[in-house]
Amino acid sequence: MESTDTSPWVRSHRTAVRVQGATAPYDTLHLTIRYPALAARDDVERMSGALALDPAGAPYPVVIVLPGINVASAGYLELATALAGAGLVCVTFDWVGELFPGQYGLTPGVDIEAVTPQAYGARPTTPALAVVLDALTEQQAEGPLAGALALDRIGVFGHSAGGTVALQSAAPAWFPQVRAVATYGSHTLASQQLGFAPNTLLASPAKVPVMLVAGSQDGVVAASAIRYGEQAGAVGHDPVRRTFEEALADAPEAWLVQLAGAGHLLPCDVEDPTSARGFLESPPDGDQAQLRALLARTLIRFFAAWLKDDRAAHHELEGWLAAPRPEIADIRRR
């Protein structure tokens, strides 16, 4: 597996926050904040495991992970650790909430009313982003991460439905601190169940750099075509590419990266076969561990470029345009 620049010490800080307006008991997010840490300095730290944040790179930009439906935050452990090891504090969360009327599960937070023809564009489609940002403000004020977070340099990574709500919610009027958005297996086609006409593509309000990453063997996206007015597995159904081409008009820079032989659940290094919808796709051909490491490297470079003003990271991505890596089936920038 290729290195993703992980530093020797990454530790976690956990907290829980309430979601105003949500109905108990489905009104609590459990957050895990991973950060670059120092080695244990005394017996207290060795015995507790609570290692101090490494101040060398502070204040650290933050990447918030919006998960896929029924994907536990533990599934993003490898990615979160890689991001934190590269000097990007990473926040994941678990929220058991209402997915659809009467159906509950792990959710990135979806405001169904905000994703209707009458309301789209009036407010964020996920309440989770504001909740996490408020929690980070509290962590910045006191506790082990106090003063160490660059809360004006926020990145968002969304997987599957988490990526969709990220693309729909990253308006500067709502979240001016969000500087970059990346997604995997996500698009902005609108479901007919919500009242949209077939094949309706919603424009993203994002006015920041956006990177869309997809797998060439994403069976979940293919099977979901029926939601948007096409047959499952329809030839030419590529909503991620269409989102790149049509839905990001206000983004100053947009990337599309397709990974050869990757499936829908690539970001999850611990896939729970009893949850999510991985059963919709055949086992993909590519080496998923190698592709997962490349995904982490790609996201680290993207967020470093836009959250840390790292020109070397940007130049590396640009180099892939001229000479794509063998694991990349397609890469584009506009």
pLDDT by residue, tens only, the chain of 334 residues: 344 454 579 999 999 999 999 999 999 999 999 999 999 899 988 999 889 999 999 999 999 999 999 999 999 999 999 999 999 999 999 999 999 878 899 999 999 999 999 999 999 999 999 999 999 999 999 999 999 999 999 999 999 999 999 999 999 999 999 999 999 999 999 999 999 999 999 999 999 999 999 999 999 999 999 999 888 877 888 999 999 999 999 999 999 999 999 999 999 987 788 988 999 999 999 999 999 999 999 999 999 999 999 999 999 999 999 999 999 999 999 9
Q: How far apart are CA 95 and CA 79, in angstroms?
A: 19
Residue 56 structure tokens: 């060398």
E strand spans, 54-193: 60-66, 89-94, 96-100, 103-106, 149-159, 178-184
41, burial (CB in 10 Å: exposed 0-12, middle 13-18, buried 19+): exposed
d(CA 298, CA 256): 11
Q: Are 226 and 193 contacting, i.e. CB atoms less than 8 angstroms apart?
A: no
Enter the pTM of the model. 0.96
Instruction: In whole angstroms, give the CA distance from residue 7 to residue 167.
Output: 30
Measure the CA–CA gap between 123 and 75, rounded to whole angstroms: 29
Pairing of strands 254-259, 328-333: antiparallel
In the numeric block, the tokens 């060439």 are attached to 216
Give the max Cα distance, the chain: 63
Indicate the domain borders of the chain.
10-333
Give the CATH class of 10-333.
alpha beta
